Amino acid sequence: MLVLVSQHQPDSCLRKNNVKSWDIRDINSSLSFDANKVPVHAEQPSASPPIQVQDPKDHPQEAFSTKKKGNKGLVVGSSIDLPILIFGLITASCFLWKKKRKGDNKDHFFIDLDMDDEFEKGTGPKKFSYGELARATNNFAEGQKLGEGGFGDVYKGLLKECNSYVAVKRVSKGSKQGIKEYAKIISRLRHRNSVQLIGWCHEKGQLHLVYELMPNASLDKHLFKEKSLLVWEIRWKIAQGIASALLYLHEEWEQCVVHRDIKASNVMLDSNFNVKLGDFGLARLVDHDKGSQTTMLAGTVGYMAPKCVMNGKASKESNVYSFGIVALEIASGRRSIDIKAPEDQVRLVEWVWNLYGTGNLVEATDPRLTQMFKEKEMERLMVIGLWCAHPDNKLRPSIRQAIQVLNSDAQLPILPSRMPVATYSPPPLNMFSPPLSHTYEVSKTVGSEQEQTMTYTISSSVYTSSAASSTKSLL
């Protein structure tokens, strides 16, 4: 407590009402005055002595002593107040952080329980320990890494107990959105043309999924990277296998599964080149009696249906579109978008449709087959591909109808000689930020020197596409 007494008043000022005490212990830095706490011992003299005025220059230190004492009081108050303020802010921040962390941990706890419950409901997945999977993958060594899929990295592993190779997916800890639905889908799907989940491990908040390993990798490596030349009989079987897997997902399982990322790199091949549709990281469930329910734009450029790109709604029809693109890739051996091709052949659908209109459909076949294919089957596969990839989703077949034509149980459809142009009404205003257009880019590396960038521009009233390439040194 500081007692301040004015030095510019006579001794008569030392009365009870003129002595003030300043309490600087108040954490809010308010100044309290309590005159009752200050004892007064001075007696009022009978006569006041004359006041002597001295020149401040004669005593410079004394002349400014009062000012310095006043400043000292303010500095002391501020120096005490600042640490208290900082301490209070730190305490409040820690409290809020712990509260949020507690809520996050609670959410993770229930998500973990839900996932474990879904896997336990599965009809075949085995529960592995983390140690088993670590030994199988050599502690998830970089050399064992096969690639990246939905939700995380994939590693090759050897389960010595059963002497079998497996693919172990290490699900990213940051993956929250859709993870429960993903667990439900992959743990219960049982079809000869879908990748089977062998087991799982969920310890310390980390989820690992164990799949059967596909010896012949994915379809794209055979079609585009010359891993091996697929003869026509195998290509035909692959097309039938993909269609069969989609029929199961769309109509034969307990709920409709909208895969949302059907493409050649997600079509896995076993030792006998049987199809195993994989990577359900973007898949969503839809009730059979309901329409499209997914509204988040997801997929791969070149395989996404125009309307799906416009409004973000994936559906069975958009899955069928993707199947049509893959069917054309199987027949032609070309990518859905090839920026190295002549200008009129960049987009596979447009090029094949033009050949269909001129009656020269056979020119689109993969030249590496050297005419070693059944022409009727080749024509059938290409027409089905165009039919499924029709720009208007209402004019596409269901996957069941496509299978009937593929198996020659129904006649080939008659398509327009020119590819229809897709036009749609503007999407909701809240889908795009002004201006009402978005550009999506995807980059792919060809060899070791060229990077291809495909760009799609989506406006509020029309869907267009463009392609550009850039060559640069890749590190």
Residue list for the binding site for ATP: 169
Q: Nearest Cα to 424, choosing from 313, 340, 306?
A: 306
SS (H, E, C) the chain: CEEECCCCCCHHHCCCCCCEEEECCCCCCCCEECHHHCCCCCCCCCCCCCCCCCCHHHCHHHHCHHHHHHHHHHHHHHHHHHHHHHHHHHHHHHHHHHHHHHHHHHHHHHHHHHHHHHHHHCCCCEECCHHHHHHHCCCCCHHHEEEEECCEEEEEEEECCCCEEEEEEEECCCCCCCHHHHHHHHHHCCCCCECCEEEEEEECCEEEEEEECCCCCEHHHHHCCCCCCCCHHHHHHHHHHHHHHHHHHHHHCCCEEECCCCCHHHEEECCCCCEEECCCCCCEEECCCCCCCECCCCCCCCCCCHHHHHHCCECHHHHHHHHHHHHHHHHHCCCCECCCCCHHHCEHHHHHHHHHHCCCHHHHCCHHHCCCCCHHHHHHHHHHHHHHCCCCHHHCCCHHHHHHHHCCCCCCCCCCCCCCCCCCCCCCHHHCCCCCEEEEEEEEEECCCEEEEEEEEEECCCEEEEEEEEECCCC
Which residue type sits at 289? D
Nearest-angstrom CA–CA distance, 318 and 249: 13
Is 279 a residue of the active site? Answer: no
What length is written for the chain?
A: 475
Paired with 218 in beta bridges are: 268
Q: Which of 23, 261, 287, 392 is catalytic?
A: 261
Structure tokens at 257: 């599964």
What's the CA gap between 217 and 167, in Å, rounded? Answer: 11
Torsions phi, psi of 279, nearest 5? 55, 80
The catalytic site residues sit at 261
